Amino acid sequence: NAGVTQTPKFQVLKTGQSMTLQCAQDMNHNSMYWYRQDPGMGLRLIYYSASEGTTDKGEVPNGYNVSRLNKREFSLRLESAAPSQTSVYFCASRRLDRGTEAFFGQGTRLTVV
Amino acid sequence: GQQVMQIPQYQHVQEGEDFTTYCNSSTTLSNIQWYKQRPGGHPVFLIQLVKSGEVKKQKRLTFQFGEAKKNSSLHITATQTTDVGTYFCAGRYFGNEKLTFGTGTRLTIIP
């Protein structure tokens, strides 16, 4: 039982390059989330998906797009990476009906140079 | 907007001393959760508080939810080196499924 799997674990991009961060969960959870973590800023919500087929903006959505491909997968795309997007990105999932804990992936450490 | 403030940002304690971190929201919360993140790791769920004035204990950890459901605290008694990490609260507001995280308190232990 893998839980929440994120790929890649590490990535270095040049300014202006694009990439997609992948996230998949095998717990049949309804809700999925993308957070970024920066020193002193805690975890800030980029986008979330309460259920398959829906996505909503979080606190810091600018420069990102998301796709809820199916119930298992929720991807985050950077169309034109900027140094300000250097961060650690976490995907999380949660069962909506119970309102219970969020399970996090291992994180993706992204550096934009 | 809906924000959860958390203090202190850092705390250094001698092993065996107590530790407390506080969270505060300007808006009433539906519930609040607490997570621990070890250095280099990902956040891991500790507990959820739902009821006004609720107090829950997990061994040396005591979690409280305020009467107005706007604040919460985590208290660790007699810290150990295994307590090292960053502790986050995460609030959920009525009417949406977002989890809004506090900025976290980074705990370091001096042996």
Q: Within the 3-62 window of chain A, which residues sit less than 8 Å (CB to CB) from chain B?
A: 31, 33, 35, 40-45, 48, 50, 56, 58-59
What pLDDT, in 10s, does the model give residues B15-65?
Answer: 999 999 999 999 999 999 999 999 999 999 999 999 999 999 999 999 999
How far is the alpha carbon of B28 from chain A, nearest alpha carbon, in Å?
Answer: 17
Tokens 């202006």, residue located: A16
Residue contact B99–A100, C-beta within 8 A? no
CA B108 from chain centre, in angstroms, equals 15
| Of residues B43, B92, B100, nearest to A104 (C-beta) | B43
Which residue would you say has higher pLDDT here, A97 or B13?
B13
Q: Are A52 and A106 in contact (CB under 8 A)?
A: no
Residue contact A105–B97, C-beta within 8 A? no
Residues of A in contact with B92 (CB under 8 A): 99
Q: Are A22 and A106 in contact (CB under 8 A)?
A: no
Residue contact A42–B101, C-beta within 8 A? yes
Residue contact A94–B98, C-beta within 8 A? no
How far is the alpha carbon of A64 from chain B, nearest alpha carbon, in Å?
Answer: 18
Residue contact A102–B98, C-beta within 8 A? no
Alpha-carbon span A62 to A107, nearest angstrom: 20
What pLDDT, in 10s, does the model give residues A48-84?
Answer: 998 888 999 999 999 999 999 899 999 999 999 999 9
Whether residue B1 is predicted with pLDDT greater than 70 in this model: the reply is no
How far is the alpha carbon of A105 from chain B, nearest alpha carbon, in Å?
Answer: 7
Whether residue A97 is predicted with pLDDT greater than 70 in this model: the reply is no
Residue B97 pLDDT level (bands cut at 50, 70, 90): confident
Task: Give strand ranges (E) for chain A.
Answer: 4-7, 10-13, 19-25, 31-38, 42-49, 56-57, 64-68, 74-78, 87-94, 103-104, 108-112
Residues of A in contact with B40 (CB under 8 A): none
Q: What is the pLDDT of residue A99?
A: 60
Q: Chain B residue with minimal CA distance to A59?
A: B100
Q: Chain A residue with minimal CA distance to B106?
A: A40
Which residue would you say has higher pLDDT here, B98 or A23?
A23
